[in-house]
Structure 1
């Protein structure tokens, strides 16, 4: 949950994007929503993005995005420019960030990226069968989904229904903050 009303950009920000499907089978993804929260969990940017191609699958059950959300949304280039400015010189936190950065057609320096999907202490396989069963996770493989990591590491249930990119950005931020001291030393 957010803390206070401070919506200023901070040195650490968290990003999550929602995608919609394009192409004949709707399998190719394009950007539909971008959410950024600051280190207090407060929203710095949350916007839908006008699709750059004809949408064939809104993936509403997962993305939470509907056709009416994208009507009148700002153009991709405008949001891409805004995001490039926001990212500059900041530590970027998120889950599976390469997907979000790819959708934004942006890069971010690896040394300034904190990806909860690839940080070993978070994604390590569970050793004990009991622990794995208790968490409902297959033993011997790393827990990689944001939903699984939040349940295991924070005791937090997310993504019970449609995803919210704001909630997912906050969840990744909480995971990072839990590990920040060790993460920044590594």
Structure 2
């Protein structure tokens, strides 16, 4: 009898994370689902719109995400979706922010969304491919609460996978910019060292 009670207690503790965030009721660290893994990218010289195929690329995680970027002045990465492996600590952080927010979510929502200045980010865990762009589930929207600021979403992997040549081009360009900045920042030192050297040779 004690063994049964212990197992029941362990089961309850194991499922604590699943009720932390109402929109992610089915979430658990060791429960994996399939998520759509895609990217829409648009610049003057290259475009990729890969998020509406009939057979999307899939990945596995304990939650799915989708992120829409708002940088319309210079469009580049417009939209990404993929997998997350959220920890219990991350879920507790989300739950804490949600609990202390002045905004109210949708109790029937299965998509939790943070609306920020430069991007909108949503996460879900209720079913396979819950982040498919063509779906229209009920969702909770938070405009003034940074619920997902501690959730690491690595969009660099999308660039490496879908646009490797563009990734290398941008990486090279950033390195060049950094080197130029370093050279410029040290340029003011030249007169400091040049003056004593010139004085020495003019003696």
Superposition TM-score, scaled by structure 2 size: 0.24
> Which one has a bigger Cα radius of gyration?
2
